[in-house]
Amino acid sequence: MAEHDFTDKVALVTGGGSGIGEACAMTFARSGAKVIVADFDKDGGDRVTEAIRAESLDATFVEVDVSKPEQIEAMVAESVETYGGLHVAVNNAGIGGAQALTGEYPIDSWQQVIEVNLSGVFYCMRHEIPAMLTSGGGAIVNMASILGSVGFANSAAYVAAKHGVVGLTKTAAIEYSAQGIRVNSVGPGFINTPLLAENLDDETLKVIAGMHPIGRLGEAQEVADLVAFLGSDEASFCTGGYYLVDGAYTAN
Ligand code: NAP
């Protein structure tokens, strides 16, 4: 679906080589944006970049680990150098982490999840915001989760990181809305992506699908459509928000 116009805009998507990020990258490209596909996974990032180019659209792959601030600085600099500015950023890269009770949660997994899922979003905003200020403003969409507002057993690090992303988003929105940068977060329910398929067996996936009153998992494109709206000029009064796309999971 391409219903917003991103012509002459530069959109950066971290974790753009798979799942929700892939759907976001494709959607922005099909809506006219020049897209930076940033990912840890070179094969996935190359695949998505090639898929965009195969439609005669514009994309560049940047290999990056979002938990490394110096790589984030270089990623943003490359976006600006390649396409002349930065207007939309989707800070989406994330990992699941260990599954264990809080009293037994492995310290190394805690540190890794917080570094990637929370600090990674901060490092991105830390460098995207100055680039957007010199580009005349922009829109940032941070990928939180339903677990940015409710808890989930055996997922202490992930839940803490996603709650942190929601707070970080609100703070940056307050700071920069008067300067033309909108900052929002998105809270997907469980979405049918490799992240889920690789971590959970079919039986568990069935149980999780049933926890959504709508009766199924979400699809990556359903998240990308919300992200595209929030990144677009149609969302001009939306900033500081946390927008659910969760099949009524949290309404239950
Ligand atoms: P996915 O299919 O695994 O895609 C995530 C991408 O990010 C992968 O290409 C992954 O590379 C990459 N990545 C991981 N760590 C990275 C790092 N340190 N630096 C750069 N890239 C990195 O996952 P997804 O389901 O689309 O999830 C995307 C985002 O949505 C995450 O923030 C996740 O927490 C959030 N979310 C997902 C769901 C869900 O149910 N799927 C629900 C709510 C929120 P590798 O494959 O090499 O790890």
Question: What HEC string does 51-116 produce?
Answer: HHHHCCCCEEEEECCCCCHHHHHHHHHHHHHHHCCCCEEEECCCCCCCCECHHHCCHHHHHHHHHH
2 falls in which pLDDT band (50, 70, 90)? Answer: low
Going by alpha carbons, the residue nearest to atom 3 of ligand 1 is 195
Q: Name every residue whose Cβ is closer than 8 Å to that of residue 64 and which is 6 or more positions away in sequence.
A: 14, 38, 39, 40, 71, 72, 74, 75
Question: How far away, in angstroms, is 97 Cα from ligand 1 center?
Answer: 11
Structure confidence at residue 228 (pLDDT):
98
Assigned CATH topology for domain 10-244: Rossmann fold (3.40.50)
Ligand 1 atom with minimal separation from the 67 CA: 18
Ligand 1 atom with minimal separation from the 68 CA: 18
Classify residue 136 by burial, with Cβ atoms within 10 Å: 0-12, 13-18, 19+: exposed
Question: How far away, in angstroms, is 32 Cα from ligand 1 center?
Answer: 24
Classify residue 96 by burial, with Cβ atoms within 10 Å: 0-12, 13-18, 19+: middle
Going by alpha carbons, the residue nearest to atom 23 of ligand 1 is 195
The whole-angstrom separation of Cα 229 and Cα 85 is: 20
The whole-angstrom separation of Cα 225 and Cα 112 is: 29
Question: How far away, in angstroms, is 113 Cα from ligand 1 center?
Answer: 11
- Cβ < 6 Å from ligand 1: which residues? 14-15, 17-21, 39-41, 44, 64-67, 92-95, 116, 143, 145, 188, 190-191, 193-196
Percent of the chain with pLDDT over 70: 99
Average pLDDT over residues 191-207: 91
Structure confidence at residue 197 (pLDDT):
86
Percent of the chain with pLDDT over 90: 96
- Residue 105 predicted with pLDDT over 60: yes
Average pLDDT over residues 82-97: 98
Average pLDDT over residues 7-20: 98
Question: How far away, in angstroms, is 92 Cα from ligand 1 center?
Answer: 7
- Residue 1 predicted with pLDDT over 80: no
Structure confidence at residue 198 (pLDDT):
83
Catalytic residue numbers read: 158
Structure confidence at residue 49 (pLDDT):
98
